[in-house]
């Protein structure tokens, strides 16, 4: 009984204590506007609305849409690393293309990996000792491929989309690489390894 009670407390704490997400935090960084001006200070971004906020003192805040941006860079204090974002034309819905913000995840000569993120509710199923399922907010990534021809292709996370689509010219090599290294195409870290290997197949 005591053990079950402790488990309930752990689950409740995990459910109620929500971690901060990168888009909710001010980061040190630089914003480069479409007309060429550079701003250095604190940056906050929101890829779901394609808006970037900039301030030097957190009292006076400037907000920029994707149309007014060229790119921006931040030092993400949550992951302790630099991150780069670029504004590129893309049609998220239908054929109409508009400037939206992509994160540069991995840059390659033949194929570059881009990403977008969103905060969404995800369902978590807990052990039988705690009945029911719970929802919590999590950071969800969508990945895109930028080809050397300038095309942007949205990726659905499936291995077949790599082998039969964007990496079809090297499908046999990619298939062996994924299998031998026990990689999954729906995991960001593994996908970076796959894209890096794909680019290496074209090196002189």
pLDDT for res 122: 77
User: Can you give the residue range of the structural domain that contains 140?
Assistant: 2-155
Over 60: is that where the pLDDT of 2 sits? no
pLDDT for res 54: 97
pLDDT over 90 percentage in the chain: 71
Under a CB-based contact definition with an 8 Å cutoff, are residues 153 and 165 in contact?
yes
Segment 31-52 shows an average pLDDT of: 96
Give buried/exposed letters for 148-161 (b at 16+ CB in 10 A, else e).
eeeebeebeeebeb
Q: Give the sheet arrangement for strand 152-155, strand by strand.
A: 61-65, 51-55, 38-46, 27-33, 69-76, 81-90, 98-106, 111-125, 133-147, 152-155
pLDDT for res 120: 85
Under a CB-based contact definition with an 8 Å cutoff, are residues 113 and 192 in contact?
yes
Higher-confidence position of 91 and 90: 90
Is residue 85, in this structure, part of any structural domain at all?
Answer: yes
- Model's pTM, two decimal places? 0.84
In whole angstroms, give the CA distance from residue 125 to residue 200. 40
In whole angstroms, give the CA distance from residue 98 to residue 83. 22
In whole angstroms, give the CA distance from residue 133 to residue 119. 19
pLDDT for res 16: 43
Segment 83-87 shows an average pLDDT of: 98
Over 60: is that where the pLDDT of 9 sits? no
Please report how many Cα atoms fall inside a 13 Å half-sphere around the Cα of residue 28, on the Cβ side: 5
pLDDT in tens, 178-201: 999 999 999 999 999 999 999 999
Top mean pLDDT of 17-31, 51-65, 84-98, 130-144 is at 51-65
Is residue 163, in this structure, part of any structural domain at all?
Answer: no
pLDDT for res 123: 77
Q: Which pLDDT band holds residue 10 (cuts at 50, 70, 90)?
A: very low
Segment 144-166 shows an average pLDDT of: 95
Is residue 204, in this structure, part of any structural domain at all?
Answer: no
Is residue 106, in this structure, part of any structural domain at all?
Answer: yes
Is residue 120, in this structure, part of any structural domain at all?
Answer: yes
Over 50: is that where the pLDDT of 1 sits? no
| Of the candidates 46, 63, 185, 43, the residue with the CA atom closest to the CA atom of residue 118 | 46
Over 70: is that where the pLDDT of 136 sits? yes
In whole angstroms, give the CA distance from residue 89 to residue 66. 10
CA distances from 19 to 13, 43, 133, 153 (A): 11, 19, 19, 31
CA distances from 72 to 7, 53, 173 (A): 43, 11, 35
Is residue 91, in this structure, part of any structural domain at all?
Answer: yes
Q: Which pLDDT band holds residue 12 (cuts at 50, 70, 90)?
A: very low
Give the H/E segment covering residue 134.
strand 133-147
pLDDT for res 127: 62
Domain count for the chain, please give it: 1
Is residue 7, in this structure, part of any structural domain at all?
Answer: yes
Top mean pLDDT of 91-105, 128-142, 148-162 is at 148-162
Is residue 194, in this structure, part of any structural domain at all?
Answer: no
Structure tokens at 40: 């250095």
């Amino acid at each position: 009984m005591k053990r079950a009670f402790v488990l309930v407390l752990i689950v409740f704490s995990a459910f109620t204590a929500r971690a901060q997400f990168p888009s909710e935090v001010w980061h040190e960084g630089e914003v480069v506007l479409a007309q060429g001006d550079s701003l250095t200070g604190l940056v906050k971004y929101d890829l779901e609305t394609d808006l970037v906020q900039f301030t030097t003192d957190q009292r006076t805040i400037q907000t920029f849409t994707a149309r007014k941006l060229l790119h921006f860079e931040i030092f993400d204090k949550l992951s302790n690393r630099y991150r780069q974002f670029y504004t590129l034309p893309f049609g998220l819905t239908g054929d109409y293309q508009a400037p939206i913000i992509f994160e540069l995840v991995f840059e390659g000569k033949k194929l570059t990996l881009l990403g977008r993120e969103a905060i969404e509710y995800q369902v978590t199923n807990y052990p039988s000792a705690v009945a029911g399922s719970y929802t919590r907010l999590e950071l969800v990534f969508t990945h895109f491929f930028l080809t050397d021809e300038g095309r942007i292709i949205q990726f659905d996370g499936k291995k077949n989309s790599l082998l039969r689509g964007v990496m079809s010219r090297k499908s046999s090599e990619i298939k062996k690489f994924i299998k031998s290294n026990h990689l999954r195409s729906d995991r960001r870290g593994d996908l970076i390894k796959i894209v890096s290997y794909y680019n290496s197949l074209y090196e002189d």
